[in-house]
């Protein structure tokens, strides 16, 4: 089967993925093409075009278009739960009962229109809606490569109505065990508190998580926000996950928390510093989120985990690397697979794999995220020539070796190689690199380009053969989705990539999937004794990751970085600039 998966149902992170006979051939986020972070309220037009092109598939050949948003029947608990819990906003409450699939119909119309633009023949190509959380679940389970019974967990803000999903995967099929529905959303509480802590939802969650280690989680008790109910939980919407008149408003903008929360905790945080009492709130929130996820996981899929030890995890909540560290540390978890595009962009992949699995296609483990566009020598030369006199460039004889020499001389390097990553993490295709034993390199990268909050950590990529020594485990970690404790002996060797709490969000690199990046790490090892680089995404603050050579050069001119390694070329700024 040839299946095009599309996402963007919730108004953010549209993306496209194409799965041909069970093989994921291409996937990319729309934001990278349109150069607008999260590409809000757009459809995945350019990313869909790219996927068709990359797979060499004509629109008329598609068997199905899969979309991660489905109609929800009134004969299931979802809409009734929503209606009951939103009693204080009767318009929403009634709407869920009387017209609860309006958003689905709107989405379907938009997908059909996009299909028409692409040249899809709807008399031949089926439109296949997949429930949002089943798409998340599929993106994790079907691409985990696990052959034994697998526990599945999905945590996000919300899909149609569901916010949290527990299931079991066996023989390629997913069985639903338990779902929670809006407004009872752990991801929603994290998002609302992210807004309260002065950041934007969708990006700010990482910042809250990065801030948490600076605070004391026991200083404030936030437990009133999420109360136990039966075997599950209920969110107190008088404080968070709030809509309508209950919302706190500031300069005409409404937030997902209430005036009551402000009365309790004080004014909303502003600015870039990690200050009191907010660091403690961040710490308490992070702890509460972890504790609830672990508790629910135990309740609903603990038995599956005890049987097989395998867990597949997706949804925006799965990008919480600290939670993932606690999961991996559990005795009865042998292996955790986190879908690298765990947020909503990954639901394009999830919808497509869900349909593929239903039709009997065999899906295998997702070993890498290099599913985006690549650019050949001519593309690079064209972009360089268009940039003209402002640049100097030369072809390198030995790219990994010469890059390693520049890194160890203390220079941060913009690094552009091969196919672009799918998902939010730069994993060595569109990255900024630094030598993690060069004192102050993290600050320099911040000053030259990233302008990140100073308390946010940078992350390491490292050689697979040294990983057990550095992080004390051989648990797979190819996607920077889990933090690990760094071995004492290594903390002083790579201080620039170790977080405040002694952990690092590592990427373990394998030669098979990234031969050139691996060779670079080997040269770093020969030069410094450490087969490690600092790796952060190739973009300026507030912009999506770079996609094309032209994007890379635009970014390069707009920052103070001195060097860009663009495929085989070493690019630097001309002297007269
Ligand atoms: Fe989602």
DSSP string, 100-152: TTHHHHHHHHHHHHHHHHHT--TTTSEEEE--HHHHHHHHHHTTT---S-EEE
Burial class (CB in 10 A: 0-12, 13-18, 19+), 473: middle
How high does pLDDT run on average in the chain? 95
Residue 392's H or E segment, with its range, is strand 391-395
Chain centre to alpha carbon of residue 339: 8
Task: Please identify every stretch of the chain with a pLDDT value under 70, giving residue numbers as ranges.
Answer: 454, 576-577
How far, in Å, CA of 429 to CA of 567, rounded? 10
Q: Which residues contact 230 (CB under 8 A, 6 or more apart)?
A: none
Show the tokens assigned to 439: 């004192």
Whole-number pLDDT of residue 468: 97
**What SS3 state is found at 415?**
strand
436-to-319, 453, 498 alpha-carbon distances in Å: 24, 18, 9
- 404 CA distance to ligand 1 middle (Å): 39
Length of the chain in terms of residues written: 577
Distance 132 CA to ligand 1 centre (A): 6
Catalytic residue among 12, 38, 132, 411: 12
499 flagged as catalytic: no
* Per-residue confidence (pLDDT) for residue 202, from 0 to 100: 85
Distance in angstroms (rounded) separating the CA atoms of residues 297 and 295: 5
pLDDT tens, 269-283? 987 777 889 999 999
Q: How far is the CA of 316 from the centre of ligand 1 (A)?
A: 6
Cα 401 to averaged position of ligand 1 atoms, centre (Å): 41
Q: Which residue has 């299909």 as its token pair?
A: 115
pLDDT value for 577: 43
Q: How far apart are CA 198 and CA 300, in angstroms?
A: 34
Specify the pLDDT at position 230: 96
- Phi/psi of residue 487, each to 5°? -60, 145
Structure tokens at 292: 């609830």
Strand partners, 190: none
pLDDT value, residue 576: 54
């Amino acid at each position: 089967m040839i299946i095009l998966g599309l996402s963007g149902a919730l108004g953010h992170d549209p993306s496209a993925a194409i799965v041909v006979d069970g093989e994921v051939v291409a996937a990319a986020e729309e934001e990278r093409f349109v150069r607008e972070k999260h590409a809000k309220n757009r459809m995945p037009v350019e990313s869909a075009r790219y996927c068709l092109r990359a797979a060499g598939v004509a629109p008329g050949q598609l068997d199905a278009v899969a979309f991660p948003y489905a109609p929800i029947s009134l004969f299931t608990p979802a809409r009734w739960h929503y209606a009951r819990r939103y009693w204080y906003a009767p318009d929403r409450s009634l709407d869920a009962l009387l017209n609860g699939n309006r958003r689905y119909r709107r989405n379907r119309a938009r997908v059909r229109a996009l299909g028409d633009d692409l040249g899809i023949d709807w008399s031949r190509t089926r439109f296949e809606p997949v429930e949002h959380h089943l798409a998340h679940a599929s993106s994790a389970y079907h691409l985990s490569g696990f052959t034994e019974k697998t526990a599945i967990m999905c945590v996000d803000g919300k899909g149609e109505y569901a916010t949290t999903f527990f299931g079991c995967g066996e023989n390629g099929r997913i069985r639903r065990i338990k779902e929670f529905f809006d407004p009872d959303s752990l991801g929603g509480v994290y998002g609302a508190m992210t807004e309260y802590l002065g950041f934007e939802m969708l990006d700010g969650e990482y910042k809250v998580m990065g801030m948490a280690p600076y605070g004391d989680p026991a200083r404030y008790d936030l437990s009133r926000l999420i109360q136990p109910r039966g075997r599950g939980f209920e969110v107190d919407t008088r404080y968070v996950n709030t809509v309508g008149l209950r919302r706190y408003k500031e300069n005409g903008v409404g937030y997902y928390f209430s005036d009551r929360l402000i009365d309790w905790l004080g004014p909303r945080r502003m600015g870039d510093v990690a200050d009191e009492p907010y660091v403690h709130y961040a710490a308490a929130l992070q702890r509460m989120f972890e504790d609830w996820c672990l508790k629910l996981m135990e309740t609903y899929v603990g038995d599956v985990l005890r049987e097989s030890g395998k867990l597949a995890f997706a949804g925006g909540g799965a990008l919480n690397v600290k939670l993932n560290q606690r999961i991996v540390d559990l005795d009865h978890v042998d292996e955790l697979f986190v879908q690298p595009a765990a947020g909503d962009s990954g639901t394009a992949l999830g919808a497509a794999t869900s349909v593929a699995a239903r039709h009997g296609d065999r899906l295998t483990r997702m070993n890498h995220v290099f599913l985006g566009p690549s650019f050949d020598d001519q593309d690079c030369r064209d972009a360089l020539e268009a940039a003209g006199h402002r640049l100097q460039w030369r072809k390198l004889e030995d790219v990994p070796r010469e890059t390693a020499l520049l890194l160890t001389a203390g220079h941060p390097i913009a690094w552009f190689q091969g196919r672009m990553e799918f998902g939010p993490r730069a994993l060595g295709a569109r990255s900024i690199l630094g030598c993690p034993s060069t004192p102050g390199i993290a600050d320099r990268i911040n000053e030259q380009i990233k302008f990140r909050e100073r308390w946010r950590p940078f992350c390491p990529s490292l050689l697979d053969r040294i990983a057990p020594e550095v992080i004390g485990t051989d648990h797979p970690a190819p996607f920077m989705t889990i933090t690990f404790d760094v071995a004492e002996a290594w903390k002083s060797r790579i201080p620039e990539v170790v977080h405040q709490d002694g952990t690092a969000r590592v990427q373990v690199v394998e030669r098979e999937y990234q031969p050139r990046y691996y060779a670079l790490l080997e040269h770093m090892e020969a030069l410094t004794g450490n087969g490690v680089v600092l790796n952060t995404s190739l973009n300026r603050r507030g912009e999506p990751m770079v996609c094309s050579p032209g994007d890379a050069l635009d970014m390069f001119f707009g920052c103070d970085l001195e060097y860009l390694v663009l495929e085989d070329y070493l690019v630097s700024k001309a002297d007269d600039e």
